[in-house]
Amino acid sequence: MDIFDRGGEIEITGISDFDPVRVFECGQCFRWEADNGGVYTGVAFDHAARVRKDADSGSVFIAGTISDFEAVWRGYFDLDRDYSEIREQLCIDDFMRRATRFGAGIRILRQDKWEALCSFIISQRNNIPRIKQIVSALCRELGDAFEFCGETFYTFPSADRLASLDEESLAPIRCGYRASYILHAARTVTSGELDLEALAFGPSEVARATLKKLHGVGDKVADCAVLFGLHMLDSFPLDVWMNRAVAENYGPGFDPGIFSPYAGIAQQYIFYYTRSGAASIS
C-alpha cells in the first residue's frame, strides 16, 4: 500500500481489498451516503470525508489533508491489516470461497466505541434506512455542527451530552422505546460504571457479558458493539440473515470458532453475500 497527497485528496494505491460500496453497505455503519457518482460522504470521530474508488486505476481517494488521513482515516479504515490474506484464510469450504469472493473489499471499520454502541441500540428491530434516519436526526438535534467542503455536518453526540437528558428530549429523533435504552447506556458510560476503552482490552466474552447488562442490550446488539465498536474480530453477530445462512450451510452445532481469529470478518462476508441474494442463486 502506498499513500500520496494529491492536494485535497489522499490517494491510496496497491490495496486490493477496499471497495467503498462493500465497506459502507455491509451493515456495519450508518453515517455514510453515496451520491449519483458513487462518491461516499460521511462523518467519523468529528471529521467528515468523501471517499471514492477510481474504476480504472483501482486507487481509493479520501478527501482531506494528510494529517487528517493519518490521525483519523488510516485507523478508521483499518488500512494496515491485510484483508486479502484473511480472505484466503477464511476459504475453508465452497460456501466461504463464494462469500469471500463476493464480499472482497469489505473492511471492518474502527468506529468510535460509544457511537457504535448507541447506533446498534437504535438498530434493534429496525431496518437500515430507518436506522440511518434516526442516527442522522440524533446528530442533527444534539451533535455539534461543523463545515466541510461548503456543507454542514454534525458530530455524534457524546454520552455525557445525552446522559443529562430525558426521554422527552429524544422525542424529535423518533426512536420510540429505544430512547430509554440510549439514555441508560449514556448514563452508565458517563458515570464510569461502563468503561468502553478498558473493555476493549479484555476478552470479548467479558465485553459481551458486560454490555448485556445494559437495558435493552441482548445478544445481537452486544455482539455488534463488540465487533464494530470494540473491534474485537472474533465476535460473530447473529440475526435472521445469519441464522439462515448458518443453518443452510453448517447445520446444528455450528461453532464460529472455525473462523478463528477472524470470525467477525467471516460474519461480514456471509452477511453481505446472503443479504444480497447472491447466495441463493450461486
Give the chain as a DSSP string: -EEEE-SSEEEEES-SS--HHHHHSSSS-SSEEE-TTS-EEEEETTEEEEEEE-TTT--EEEES-HHHIIIIIHHHTTTTS-HHHHHHHH--SHHHHHHHHHTTT-------HHHHHHHHHHHTT--HHHHHHHHHHHHHHHS-EEEETTEEEEPPPPHHHHHT--GGGGGGGT-TTHHHHHHHHHHHHHHTSS-HHHHTTS-HHHHHHHHTTSTT--HHHHHHIIIIIS--TT-----HHHHHHHHHHT-TT--GGGGTT-HHHHHHHHHHHHHTTHHHH-
Q: Is residue 132 annotated as a catalytic residue, yes or no?
A: no
**Selected catalytic residue, list 53, 113, 212, 220:** 220
Q: Kindly list the catalytic residues.
A: 220
